[in-house]
Structure 1
Amino acid sequence: MSHYTQWYASPGGQPRLLLVDDHQLNVRVMYEMFRHEFDVFIALNGEQALEKCYELHPDLILLDVVMPRMDGYEVCRRLKADPELADIPVIFITSHFDEADEVHGFELGAVDFIHKPVNPIITKARVKTQLQLKQQADLLRRISQVDGLTGIANRRRFDQQLELDWRNCCRAQEPLSLMMLDIDYFKQYNDEFGHLAGDECLRQVASTMQQAIGRPYDLLARFGGEEFAVLLPRTDLTGAQYLAQNMLQKITQLAIPHPLTPGGIVTLSAGLSSTVPQEQHQPRQLLQQADQLLYKAKQQGRAQLQASLWTGV
């Protein structure tokens, strides 16, 4: 495999294509066909294909049907059974033309079949068609997961990402931190200044918190009303506390006038919980503890952070 490493395209802005075939000659032919238009990655068996899907999240998979140990059908079945990978389109590559096999492949969730020997023009056309369909579906999905007022993720996106981050951190045995934040005395702010001013306040707070998040895989979401949530995978309690305090400080520095608070400006209360996820636990338990810590922050005077490790007890 080492002498094929030079084939791997460097990840960039192009779509990611995963080629899965146990015959290196077939892989070489397919690689040469697509390397100028895609970031191409290679797996030589089913197990390796699944590992690379978790690692790379390719935009499309060209999957050989007949492979030892784990055939293409089993790989596809496992992909479609995992919510994290189920949206990746799969095109089967096969040297057999059997109607029953194709029906089985489509039932498993494949989007197309390509028959060997591969015709470059037909194969490229089918790949481009499926990528265009996926890009359209991804765009619609992103639109459905954005909060219309603030432009950050909505509750639906948060719930989905919490499940994904929990599974990923559980698999890798890495920490996951979850933060719940609430704008203090926001009802009184709306009563004093009106809902239009309240909406502008929400947008300013969301924008400022989004700027404070430095990594692309961290997620800020509007949880509901004036409440926000932050997911921080691969972040322990110490790192999450630093970010949380920075967020609270940046909101204070905005100095949005709010005469009905003790300090006269808009502030945040926050609850933060961190754990290394375990299979016997559920992500909603981490969410519940963060919410309880947020309630504690409000009870103890607001404009503060309450944080704790969660051990599952």
Structure 2
Amino acid sequence: MDVADIIVPLETERGKILVVDDQPLNIKILHQLFHEDYEMFMATNGQQAIEFCQKLQPDLVLLDIEMPIMSGYDVCQQLKADPLTANIGVIFVTAHFDEVQEVKGFQLGAVDFIHKPINPIITTARVKNQFILKRQTDLLHSIALLDSLTGVANRRQFEQRLPEIWEHSCRTQSPLSVVMLDVDFFKHFNDRYGHQEGDRCLRLVAKAISTTLKRAVDFVARYGGEEFICILPDTPLLGAEHMAQNIVDAVQALHIKHIDSSFNEVTISAGVACVQPRSDLTWQTLIETADQQLYVAKQNGRNVVCGLAL
């Protein structure tokens, strides 16, 4: 993946807007105003709105303040407290021109206010401006989480994703595996062929790893230097070792010449760790174990896979 792979979908994909109001007439007015330019979704209470946001990840929420049981303020507060929904833009819709209300809304994380009765020109402009800002923010966020050389995720993104996947595996009681990968004799490769060829080699290796991972839930990142790391949710040790071996084979199949390697071509070693996440372990332990297994693979001659279940 490169920057173009991010920009094109963001430019062509229709935005998603969730309208939240306990009055169907208000929902209908906003739906008629925006349905030609955006994908529109509706909710009639706060709990339904939160569930929709967790599932659909809309770009914007047009949120009525005054609703029974759970007010718009309560909904906004919950959305901003959840990392999964914190970046969704919230625009409050209110019949009141109350400065105190607006201050409270902005303090809770809202991005704008729309006043009833709805003025189509003002409302359209405010929503369009916030949608553009949201897409620009999403783009910058995505670029910041990519490794600029290889196009795969960077270490920062990895360290955000693994704790989230760990928590999910704890809830579902499913196995979680990590594969640590290191290009063999890479310093010798750089010394022999130069850093430009070294960069080209890393790009090809990253592409081979990404192509080998078939499932959408599987994740690969550049961990640092010539090291890569994969997260394989819902994968037991045997399956993770099999996937690691496929990656090792795919890299060797590139047949990148490397006369300073004992294999005469670029190869990669893999350390695998698998665990059923539980309270007495941490995700850091999983990485440490995979790293130890990578060391064992290096000691065992390189271009091999070593794994351990915790």
TM-score of the aligned structures, taking structure 1 as reference length: 0.86
Identity of aligned residues (%): 49
TM-score of the aligned structures, taking structure 2 as reference length: 0.87
Q: In the alignment, which residue of structure 2 is the partner of 1:25?
A: 25
Question: 2: CA distance between counterparts of 1:25 and 1:196?
Answer: 62
1:294 correspondence with 2:303: no
Structure 1 residue 45: Cα displacement: 2.0
Question: 2: CA distance between counterparts of 1:307 and 1:231?
Answer: 14
Structure 1 residue 103: Cα displacement: 0.3
Q: In the alignment, which residue of structure 2 is the partner of 1:155?
A: 155
* CA distance 1:267–1:52, change in 2 (3 Å): same
Contact 2:146 2:154 (C-alpha < 8 Å) held by counterparts: yes
Contact 2:241 2:306 (C-alpha < 8 Å) held by counterparts: no
Contact 1:84 1:164 (C-alpha < 8 Å) held by counterparts: no
Q: In the alignment, which residue of structure 2 is the partner of 1:72?
A: 72
* Amino acid in structure 2 at the alignment position of 1:141: H
Structure 1 residue 199: Cα displacement: 1.5
* CA distance 1:28–1:237, change in 2 (3 Å): farther
Tell me the SS of whatever aligns to 2:117: coil
1:51 correspondence with 2:69: no
Q: In the alignment, which residue of structure 1 is the partner of 2:208?
A: 208
Structure 1 gap ranges (5+): 1-11
Structure 2 gap ranges (5+): 1-11
Q: In the alignment, which residue of structure 2 is the partner of 1:223?
A: 223
Structure 1 residue 206: Cα displacement: 0.9
Cα RMSD of the aligned pairs, angstroms, is 2.3
* CA distance 1:286–1:99, change in 2 (3 Å): same
Question: 2: CA distance between counterparts of 1:27 and 1:237?
Answer: 50
1:195 correspondence with 2:188: no
Equivalent runs, 1:1-313 vs 2, <5 Å: 13-278=13-278, 281-310=281-310
Question: 2: CA distance between counterparts of 1:105 and 1:280?
Answer: 40
* Amino acid in structure 1 at the alignment position of 2:58: P
Contact 1:91 1:111 (C-alpha < 8 Å) held by counterparts: yes
Question: 1: CA distance between counterparts of 2:219 and 2:90?
Answer: 28
* Amino acid in structure 1 at the alignment position of 2:72: G
Question: 1: CA distance between counterparts of 2:184 and 2:54?
Answer: 40
Tell me the SS of whatever aligns to 1:265: coil
Contact 2:62 2:91 (C-alpha < 8 Å) held by counterparts: yes
Tell me the SS of whatever aligns to 2:13: coil
Q: In the alignment, which residue of structure 1 is the partner of 2:8?
A: none
* CA distance 1:236–1:261, change in 2 (3 Å): same
